[in-house]
Amino acid sequence: MSNTPEDLKYTKEHEWVRDNGDGTLTVGITDHAQDALGDLVYIEMPEVGRQVDAAEACAVVESVKAASDIYSPVGGEVTEVNVALGDAPETINDDPYDAGWMFKLRMSDASQLDGLLDAAGYEALVAEEE
Amino acid sequence: MLAAIGIERIDDLFDEIPPGLKASDLPGIPPALSEMDVGRLMQQRSRQDGQPLCFIGAGAYDHHIPAAVWQIVTRGEFYSAYTPYQAEASQGTLQVLYEFQSMMTALTGLDVSNASLYDGASALAEAVLMAVRANRKCKSRRVLVPRALHPVYRRTLHTIVHQQGIELVEIPFDGRGGHTALEQIEAFGDGAFAALIINQPNFFGILEEVGALTDWAHQRNALVIGVVNPVALALLSPPGDWGKTGADIACGEAQPLGMPLASGGPYAGFLCCKQALMRQLPGRIAGRTLDLDGKPGFTLTLQAREQHIRRSKATSNICTNQGLLVTAATIHMALLGAEGLERVAAACHANTVKLSDMLCELSGVEPLFDRPVFHESALRLPVPTADLLRALAAHNLLGGYNLGPSYPELDPALLVCATEMRTEADSTTYAENLSRVVVARTQVRCPLKPRV
């Protein structure tokens, strides 16, 4: 059973979202997602300063068997990316919710958070997909 | 077979395709022929080509191919109807692809090579798509294309990229030098552009000032795509060394490496790039790895971006390579070695310069441009090019490429090439015949009628 922390929000595309409380969000992929993808070998990050819409493809995670788009959970501006993943993409496999974070966003509209899933909702989604 | 898989008719297998999408008739496609009939047709066609003395280059070159090349390539282990990529069954094929890539990175001075594409022109189109995708410093979709690039490459490029919102901007060549002059391209540097294509040598055989052009493009945040001749690279500085930081991508036609002219194909394209662009490199890439027991082995690598995995988001929808021709290129390069390839390149250059000098002794024939060439030379003629080529063909001579149709501003003009295959006697034969044809067409008739 994969790990799904209670204090995070989730998307149907298997990203997690942490509300940093200052108008910014941290985004990564879930434990379930990293497990399904297998060993990650490359992460393509968005550029800092890029404006993204909700559900816009803005990053790519590549494993030995697939390359998948990562969608922005909400609209906003990319403020920071986890450059450490460039040399160590496997960090996402080892620690998806902490050291394996991918990018930070400044939300254009905080109400967009309401549309995301909570931990129970995400677990139900995963159970349904399986 | 149908019974074994539980269907009645072969058409049942295609039920999923909506009827509206199925091609019904294929007009213009003749009925199937037997092997015997096809053999006869091919014999007829190849007889039409004859065995002329060939002084035409323009993208495909008549080089010597050691007999061992195709002897080895046609061994059963290599000569397959389909590309065998299963690592457990195809170590030999995969190793050849890996060696080919290693040789191409050595020739181009770049970090990564793919296992080839269909031909030089489509490799350039992939290079352009790749550059536009990969250039993160510049969002422009304009690409600067020299007019001194092969006209067929320019047409192929347009066909493949124009529906993808990429704008191709033609940059002129210098009327005296035949090269792409820095002063002239300044005018195109105002707006942003994603990439500059540099053709070395260019279509007229002229050597471009690749270092200055590369630095000029890099200063404007554009990527540099080198379109290069692999034989010329044995002598010229490799794209990876151009300017201060080197070209970003190099591509070209691998035909000069062991592939016969064969009436125009099949040939193979190559595509190499810097490591930073590796993830944008389309096509097959063979890699070396270790198996479970720690023994070295070969396998396809970086496949996650290919269409069988990424579907419509693949780096390219042409994920195949020219396996057999690449095998020929690899064996050809291995037999020649770096020194052999260098000698071929030097002989081509020397023979072409000698031929050009010989032809220019004729009145009215002169070089179109005053810059150094590699193994082709553009000549101005005193007579219409098509007439001249027809007259030479009657003497079993392929006199060169008629520049007029693609470059009306140069007409009447001819592009000639003498590879290492052309002896001095061959060139003399050409010069004598050219002289006769030119004299017959330019001589003023005697104004006085002879008295009988």
Read off the CATH number of the domain in which B389 is found.
Answer: 3.90.1150.10
Helices (H) and strands (E) counted in chain A, each on its own, are 3, 9
Residue B40 has pLDDT above 90, yes or no: yes
Q: Could you read off the pLDDT of A72-93 as tens digits, one per residue?
A: 999 999 999 999 998 899 999 9
Given A47, A66, A69, which is nearest B304 (Cβ)?
A66
* Dist. CA B397–CA B429, nearest whole Å: 9
Same domain, yes or no: B237 and B111: yes
Q: Which residues of A touch B136 (CB under 8 A)?
A: 47
The SS3 call for residue B363 is: coil
> What Å distances lie between residue B128 and B225, B226, B282, B397, B444, CA to CA?
8, 11, 11, 37, 52
Same domain, yes or no: B312 and B348: no
Name the DSSP class of B373.
B
Does the residue A123 lie in any domain?
no
* Dist. CA B297–CA B367, nearest whole Å: 53
Residue B187 has pLDDT above 90, yes or no: no
* Dist. CA A1–CA A31, nearest whole Å: 10
Given A47, A64, A67, which is nearest B305 (Cβ)?
A67
| pLDDT for res B87 | 83
Does the residue A26 lie in any domain?
yes
Q: Which residues of B touch A44 (CB under 8 A)?
A: 279
Q: Which residues of B touch A47 (CB under 8 A)?
A: 136
> What Å distances lie between residue A86 and A19, B128, B239, B428, CA to CA?
24, 26, 27, 62
Same domain, yes or no: B316 and B398: no
- Residues B242-252, mean pLDDT to the nearest whole number: 98
> Which pLDDT band holds residue B29 (cuts at 50, 70, 90)?
confident
Q: Which residues of A touch B304 (CB under 8 A)?
A: 41, 62-67
Residue B112 has pLDDT above 90, yes or no: yes
Q: How far is B284 from chain A (nearest CA, A)?
A: 15
Of A65-69, B133-137, B225-229, which one has max mean pLDDT?
B225-229
Does the residue A130 lie in any domain?
no
| Paired sense of beta strands B142-146 and B195-200, if any | parallel
Given B136, B304, B313, which is nearest A65 (Cβ)?
B304
- A28 DSSP β-pair partners: A16
- B117 DSSP β-pair partners: B269
> Which pLDDT band holds residue B83 (cuts at 50, 70, 90)?
low
Q: Which residues of B touch A63 (CB under 8 A)?
A: 304
Q: Could you read off the pLDDT of B231-242 as tens digits, one per residue?
A: 999 999 999 999
| pLDDT for res B450 | 61
| Six-digit token string for B61 | 């070159």
CB-CB under 8 Å, B313 with A44: no
Same domain, yes or no: B269 and B137: yes
Does the residue A91 lie in any domain?
yes
| pLDDT for res B320 | 73
* Dist. CA B125–CA B161, nearest whole Å: 7
Same domain, yes or no: B241 and B272: yes
CB-CB under 8 Å, B279 with A44: yes
User: Quick one: closest CA in B to A60, which residue?
Assistant: B305
Does the residue B21 lie in any domain?
no
| pLDDT for res B362 | 92
| Six-digit token string for B419 | 């590879």
- Exposed e or buried b per residue across B306-316, where buried means at least 16 C-beta atoms within 10 angstroms of its C-beta: beebbeeebbb
Residue B310 has pLDDT above 80, yes or no: no
pTM confidence score? 0.88
Same domain, yes or no: B303 and B412: no
> What Å distances lie between residue B307 and A41, A75, A85, B201, CA to CA?
18, 29, 26, 34
| Paired sense of beta strands A40-44 and A57-63, if any | antiparallel
> Which pLDDT band holds residue A94 (cuts at 50, 70, 90)?
very high
| pLDDT for res B440 | 86
Residue B82 has pLDDT above 70, yes or no: no
Q: Give the angle subtended at the CA of B393 by the CAs of B389 and B395, to the nearest 5°.
A: 125
Whether omega before A5 lies within 30 degrees of 0, making that bond cis, reads no
* Dist. CA B181–CA B184, nearest whole Å: 5
Which stretches of chain A are DSSP H helices? 31-37, 91-94, 119-129
Q: What is the CATH number of the domain that holds A93?
A: 2.40.50.100
- Residues B139-154, mean pLDDT to the nearest whole number: 95
Given A42, A64, A65, which is nearest B279 (Cβ)?
A42
Does the residue A112 lie in any domain?
no
Does the residue B451 lie in any domain?
no
| pLDDT for res B319 | 66
> What Å distances lie between residue A113 and A9, A75, A109, A123, CA to CA?
8, 10, 8, 18
Same domain, yes or no: B193 and B258: yes
| A46 or B310, greater pLDDT | A46
**What DSSP letter does each residue of B278-327 carry, written as one string?**
GGG--S--EEEEE-TTS-EEEEE--GGGSHHHHGGGSS-S-----HHHHH
Q: Could you read off the pLDDT of A7-49 as tens digits, one per residue?
A: 999 999 999 999 998 989 999 999 999 999 999 988 989 989 9
* Dist. CA B418–CA B63, nearest whole Å: 10
* Dist. CA A20–CA A6, nearest whole Å: 15
* Dist. CA B106–CA B338, nearest whole Å: 10
Longest Cα separation, chain A? 37
> Which pLDDT band holds residue B81 (cuts at 50, 70, 90)?
low
Query: Last residue of some domain: B297, B331, B365?
Result: B331
CB-CB under 8 Å, B279 with A65: no
Torsion of CA B385, B386, B389, B395, to 10 degrees: -130
Q: How far is B218 from chain A (nearest CA, A)?
A: 20
| A69: containing domain | 9-106
Name the DSSP class of B398.
E
> Which pLDDT band holds residue B312 (cuts at 50, 70, 90)?
confident
Does the residue B27 lie in any domain?
no
Given A44, A66, A69, which is nearest B309 (Cβ)?
A66
Helices (H) and strands (E) counted in chain B, each on its own, are 12, 15
* Dist. CA B117–CA B318, nearest whole Å: 8
| Six-digit token string for B123 | 């490799």
| pLDDT for res B139 | 80
| Six-digit token string for B114 | 């793919």
| pLDDT for res B304 | 72
Contacts of B444 (CB under 8 A, 6+ apart): none
CB-CB under 8 Å, A44 with B309: no
* Dist. CA B385–CA B442, nearest whole Å: 13
Instruction: Name the domain count of chain B.
Output: 2
Same domain, yes or no: B276 and B229: yes
Interchain contact B137–A (C-beta under 8 A): no
Same domain, yes or no: B319 and B375: no
Does the residue B35 lie in any domain?
no
| B97: containing domain | 67-331
Indicate the length of chain B as a whole number.
Answer: 452
> Which pLDDT band holds residue B14 (cuts at 50, 70, 90)?
confident
| Average per-residue pLDDT for chain B | 92
Closest CA to B332 of B103, B77, B76, B75: B103
When scoring B309, B312, B319 by the number of chain A Cβ atoms within 10 A, the one with the most, hence best to mutate, is B309
Does the residue B211 lie in any domain?
yes
User: Quick one: closest CA in B to A37, which residue?
Assistant: B304
Residue given tokens 């294509």 in the structure block = B197
Interchain contact B279–A (C-beta under 8 A): yes
CB-CB under 8 Å, B136 with A47: yes
Which stretches of B170-322 are DSSP H helices? 182-185, 210-219, 307-310
Does the residue B427 lie in any domain?
yes
Residue A99 has pLDDT above 90, yes or no: yes
Q: Which residues of B touch A42 (CB under 8 A)?
A: 279
Q: How buried is residue A109: exposed, middle or buried, by Cβ count under 10 Å (0-12/13-18/19+)? A: exposed
How far, in whole angstroms, is CA B368 from its chain's centroid? 23
Query: Last residue of some domain: B309, B331, B353?
Result: B331
Given A47, A63, A69, which is nearest B304 (Cβ)?
A63
Say which range, B18-32, B266-280, B358-372, B378-392, has the weakest mean pLDDT: B18-32
| Beta strand extents in B18-70 (DSSP E only) | 53-54
